[in-house]
Amino acid sequence: MLEPGSPVVAMVGRWGGASSLVIGAVLLGRVIRDMPHLLPNRLPGLVLYEVGPGLLLAVAIWFAVSNTRGCFRARTRLILFVVMAALVGSIAIGNAFAPSLDGRWL
C-alpha cells in the first residue's frame, strides 16, 4: 500500500498528470481538426485550425517535461512524451478513419 504524501505517490501523480496532459492535448487537437465548423470564421478560426493543435501539443509536452523533473534526463523525458503523443495520435487517427482504412493501417 502506498502511503499518502510519500515520494513514490508524488512521482506517480506527477507522471500521471503529465501523461494525461499530453493525451488530452492530442485529443483536443483532433477535435479542433475534425470540427472546424465550431471555430469562428475569418482569420482567428483559420489560425486556430492551422496552428492550434500543434501549438497545444508543444505546450503540453513542454509542461510535461518540466513537470517530471528529477527522474530521467530532459532528452529522455522529451522522447518519451513525443512517442506517447505519436502513439495516441495514430490511435485517434486510426479510429477516426477506420472505415476507410479497413484495418490496413496496422
SS (HEC) of 18-86? HHHHHHHHHHHHHHHHHCHHHCCCHHHHHHHHHHHHHHHHHHHHHHHHHHCCCCCCHHHHHHHHHHHHH
Q: Which tens digit of pLDDT belongs to each residue from 45-82? A: 888 888 888 888 888 988 888 888 877 888 888 898 99
**Are 68 and 18 within 8 A, CB to CB?**
yes
CA distance 66 to 85: 16
Q: Where are the domains of the chain?
A: 21-101
Among 19, 26, 1, residue whose Cα is nearest residue 68: 19
- Asked if residue 106 has pLDDT above 80, the reply is no
CA 60 from centroid of its chain's CA atoms: 7
pLDDT-wise least confident of 26-30, 36-40, 56-60: 36-40
C-alpha to C-alpha distance for 49 and 39, rounded to whole angstroms? 8
Confidence band, pLDDT 50/70/90 cuts, at residue 83: very high
Q: What is the pLDDT of residue 68?
A: 84
What count of other Cβ atoms lies within 10 Å of the Cβ of residue 37?
A: 7
